C-alpha cells in the first residue's frame, strides 16, 4: 500500500520548457512537480509497497537513496512508440518522417500547431502517443505525450485507417507493477472504435536492472537523426521504473531523482 506521494501533477508545459538540450523528456507521466525531478515515497512498517512510473524518455541519470528501485530502457524491439522532437515544425496537417534502425518509422504529426501525434509505423501496426507540441528554450519542437482528447483520438484513428492502432496514455492508472511483471496499458483501435485500457504490454521483473543507493545510473534511450532536408530530429524511447518492497520491516522515505543528459 502506498501511504503518501509528495507531488501534485503539474502542467506539462512548465516541465518540458526546461529541456533545452533535447536529451530527455523528464517524468512524462506528470507525477512530480514541475520545478522538481524527484519522486518521493513514504513507506510504513508492515506494508507491501508497489509503485510504477515512466521517469523519463530519452537520455538521463537516475539516483535513489535506497534499494527497491528498478529500471528498464525500451528499444525498437519493444512494441511501443517513442516520443520525438525536431528543429522544424511542419505545417498544420503535415508530418516529419524519421526512419528508425529496425526498419520502422516515427511520424511526428502537427495536428493544429499546438498538438499532434507521435506515431511509430511498423508494418501494418501503429503505436502512438497523442502529443502537445512545445518549443523549448533551445528552439526545438518537442512532441510531449499527453492524455488524448476526442479530436486527437479521431486524428490517430484516421491515420490508422482500417488497421490496428495502439495508443499509449501518459496517466498513472495505465501503468502497474504487480510484484512480478510491469504492465503498460494502452487503448486499442480495432479499425472501427477505441477499446479503452483493456490490453497491455508487459515486461517481466527479470528484465529490469536494480538501482544501487547513492550511485548514479545512466540510461541512454535517445537517438539523433539528420533528415534529408537538414532538419535535426530526436527520438526518445521510454524508460520504465518501479519500486517494490513486498514486506517492509522498518518505516523509511525513498526517492527516485532524475536528471537529463
For 46, how many CA atoms within 13 A lie in the half-sphere containing its CB? Answer: 0
Which helix (H) or strand (E) segment holds residue 12: the answer is helix 12-16
Q: Which of 28, 122, 143 is closest to 80 using CA atoms?
A: 122
Distance CA 27, CA 33 (A): 9
pLDDT in tens, the chain (261 residues): 333 322 222 233 333 334 455 799 999 998 998 788 999 999 988 888 999 999 999 999 999 999 999 999 999 999 999 999 999 999 999 999 999 999 999 999 999 999 999 999 999 899 999 999 999 878 899 999 999 999 999 999 999 887 799 999 999 999 999 999 999 999 999 999 999 998 999 999 999 999 999 999 999 999 999 999 999 999 999 999 999 999 999 999 999 999 998
- What confidence score (pLDDT) does residue 34 get? 77
Give the Å distances, CA to CA, from 164 to 11, 147, 171, 175, 184: 31, 19, 22, 21, 18
pTM above 0.75, yes or no: yes
Cβ-based neighbours of 99, under 8 Å, separated by 6 or more:
105, 225
- What confidence score (pLDDT) does residue 21 get? 56
Which helix (H) or strand (E) segment holds residue 253: the answer is strand 252-260
Amino acid at each position: 500500500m502506498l501511504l503518501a506521494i509528495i507531488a501534485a501533477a503539474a502542467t506539462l508545459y512548465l516541465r518540458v520548457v526546461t529541456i533545452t538540450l533535447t536529451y530527455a523528456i523528464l517524468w512524462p507521466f506528470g507525477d512530480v512537480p514541475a520545478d522538481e525531478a524527484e519522486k518521493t515515497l513514504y513507506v510504513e512498517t508492515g506494508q507491501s509497497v508497489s509503485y510504477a512510473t515512466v521517469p523519463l524518455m530519452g537520455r538521463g541519470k537516475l539516483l535513489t537513496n535506497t534499494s527497491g528501485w528498478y529500471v528498464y530502457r525500451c528499444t525498437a524491439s519493444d512494441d511501443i512508440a517513442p516520443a520525438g522532437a525536431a528543429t522544424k515544425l511542419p505545417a498544420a496537417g503535415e508530418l516529419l518522417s524519421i526512419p528508425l534502425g529496425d526498419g520502422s518509422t516515427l511520424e511526428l504529426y502537427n495536428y493544429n500547431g499546438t498538438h499532434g501525434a507521435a506515431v511509430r509505423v511498423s508494418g501494418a501496426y501503429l503505436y502512438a502517443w497523442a502529443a502537445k507540441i512545445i518549443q523549448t528554450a533551445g528552439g526545438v519542437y518537442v512532441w510531449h505525450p499527453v492524455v488524448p482528447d476526442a479530436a486527437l483520438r479521431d486524428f490517430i484513428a484516421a491515420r490508422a485507417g482500417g488497421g490496428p492502432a495502439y495508443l499509449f496514455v501518459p496517466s498513472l492508472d495505465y501503468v502497474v507493477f504487480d510484484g512480478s511483471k510491469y504492465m503498460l496499458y494502452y487503448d486499442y483501435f480495432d479499425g472501427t472504435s477505441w477499446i479503452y485500457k483493456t490490453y497491455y504490454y508487459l515486461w517481466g521483473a527479470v528484465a529490469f536492472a536494480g538501482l544501487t543507493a547513492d550511485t548514479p545510473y545512466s540510461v541512454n534511450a535517445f537517438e539523433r537523426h539528420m533528415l534529408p532536408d537538414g532538419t535535426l530530429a530526436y527520438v526518445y524511447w521510454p524508460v520504465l521504473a518501479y519500486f517494490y518492497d513486498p514486506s517492509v520491516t522498518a518505516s523509511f522515505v525513498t526517492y527516485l531523482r532524475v536528471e537529463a543528459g
